[in-house]
Structure 1
């Protein structure tokens, strides 16, 4: 539910607020993997791409895809090594 609410807030934000970098978001996120924090670029050179009103929908799409698909595939691939 938190993910939905966060994405909804980004999409409903005033474009001026988004474009002034008040969200402080980039195409990059930190994830916890086996007790360690790891930075992940959601898009090539994502740590250098600031989310703005022109790319906020793309950011949401890529972030959700990472959260529900990419990260799960990584966990499944990792666990299959032990079978």
Structure 2
């Protein structure tokens, strides 16, 4: 949970994590983010690398993606 809070300090990082968790794909997350942030997939990849370091789990693996998605949901529920 603390790692999600650190990620949330940067709204773009949180938005990137949210897009990746929602799509499960770097390319689809980049497409989603490109619509309003005009991000290229390489920029999204760099962001995800940093987020992976903060979270301490591999987002490219199904278990890591699931853990990140659950942590993000829990953080949002507790933030309300």
TM-score bracket for this pair, using the shorter chain length: 0.3 to 0.5
Higher relative contact order (CA 8 A, sep 6+): 2
TM-score by length of 2: 0.34
Higher strand share: 1
Higher helix share: 2
Larger Rg: 1
